[in-house]
Structure 1
């Protein structure tokens, strides 16, 4: 008979033996607890991968925001450059309107004189009384070949006869093209014919107008004034159009950032829900560990087979710490520093204000000095010392490299900017120094020109160095 009042292991109040489960039931209940804890640990093992993925999401969102800001900065840069080019072009056109007016008046006067001369030539008919030696018969022959007025032919020349026989004959060149030979018109009649046309042309040029009529000048002035009004209107509209384009670019940036913010909020909400699930699972695992401990204390050891499994199940739950460098989900959001998993760069923000890029005109000294570093300064004497040839080439190469180092980054839209103060005088000074070296290296140098170039080079170099030092001091 079993004692119904057998004492418990912990010395607490005994329970009736009828309520003590069988060893198989104890083992089954304990295995059930262990399997539940094992399933929870398998789920909680996914938390480090989730935290890593969520950190990558945060980095990706920051990268997308930076990209949107960069696109906005590039758009502002292009708008600014387009506005500068448009305003410069319009100002240049406005400056050239006065010269355009004079050129139009000159062209209009030339057209008016040409029409007057052509009209006078067309109205002057060829008659026998006008040209000595040409009778009515030759007049009819000329008319048959299309020569009736002074405007129908230009000049006369000698050439081989049409049939190739009889030597050279006189040809009359028509205004509309082609030349004709009239039997009976040779040197004695061709010269008076040409002199008659030249006299008619001289009278027509003398009678042609030399000034534009007032109405024509007024018409040209109205055209120029209308053009000036149009250009001034476009110049006034250029800033407004640029501002409108900037507002559109800013609106696109706002919309893009708004879409990103909406997506980030949704992703953050889902991540928070997932973390809450992990926290709940961790708390549930702690509860199951407490239940398993109580079960062991109440019923003791359940056997060698289950002892090892329950030891693994009871190992410490380390508060679910994240992977290294990943903040804990239990820490406040404002006290945890975000850690980036990507390579740190020096520039993460977009260009906020448009700059002015270095001009393409710097390619001229760069190309010239680059060619000088290869071909030399044009040594006139092939017996020039080796040190002179090598030294001038190395100097040109050094100046070329320095110009490229300063110019290339200032052409990129991310690092756009004007060339530093003093670079222009320094480059000009290097150019004159090479010119002076080329002159003085000649076997028969022009000492005056060489020393003048040297003085100019020295003055420019001193000016450039002074400007550079002043600029660095102000910085």
Structure 2
């Protein structure tokens, strides 16, 4: 029966079906992840639009306060310029300052102080040459300070009073409100800013709507692909079910034919299985036939060969090995030195259990196959010595752990004997004795 080739395009011109159900599931997962990504993109678009609208709305609402701030700043600049201009137009004269003559006015002008706008304050400090104590310094508007001989504490007072009076007259005559043209200019700037913010707010809404529409279109296309994939998967499942139904019908027909054949000729499979088991059964060793002497060879000169006897059930490992196996299995559970009220070290209890477990495993590995019917045989040479050595070693370890017994000497002797037995058994396991050949 031919299977459907899923790599070719379908009859309705849709995308070719995936090669396997695993690929269908992977494609479906990718489409679902794409849908989830589109939903997250829409959420990000909404959040970005909300942030931009909040920012622009806040800027729009703060324009009125910004207008007042700019008007206040412009008025402050206008008043400052007016005051500075009036101070520059107020010169130092002899008639204005009591106690000042033409020489002092000329000295002040030589130091750059000729109007009320050229200095701001006076202060006392050390003399420029460091001699004569403190002198009076006049602070110029540019940050420098100068000392003029003849101007001290008494003459500094009328100088500062004259400047304060000139400053008060200038501040009183300074404008209190902005001119109409300046207010109109500031209004135009604020309205232009307002129009720009409103246009940007409109553009933000329009861009968000466009991005939302694109994301929605991609979302719809992805949903359509998902629906197409679901339909293709359903069609593929229907085709595979049809194939499996046809195969099931063929299997039923073959089963009917097989039942009829078995009713007519019997169960050949049972006979075949029995024949296979008999064929795979190990052939018992048969002693070789003696060589037939040649008619021409003298009697008594034929070679005599001794065939090795085949193992029999009598050669199986004895049941007595169950005793050490059970003992070491019990030691694996309880350990050494932990019985009665004794408390052995943790290291001894763990190591004794591991040694007993290893010994039990090795004995079972050697004893179980040699007890089977098809693989009988005696236990390897030296295993008894090794088993005895391990038993004596565990007994010596228990005696060492028991501090109340007072058998330290016996424990040492058992340890030496256990080591000798282990070495002897290991030597026999490595080099087993050679069988004696009969002549």
TM-score normalised by the chain length of structure 1: 0.46
**Structure label with greater radius of gyration:** 2
Bigger RCO of structures 1 and 2 (CA < 8 A, at least 6 apart): 1
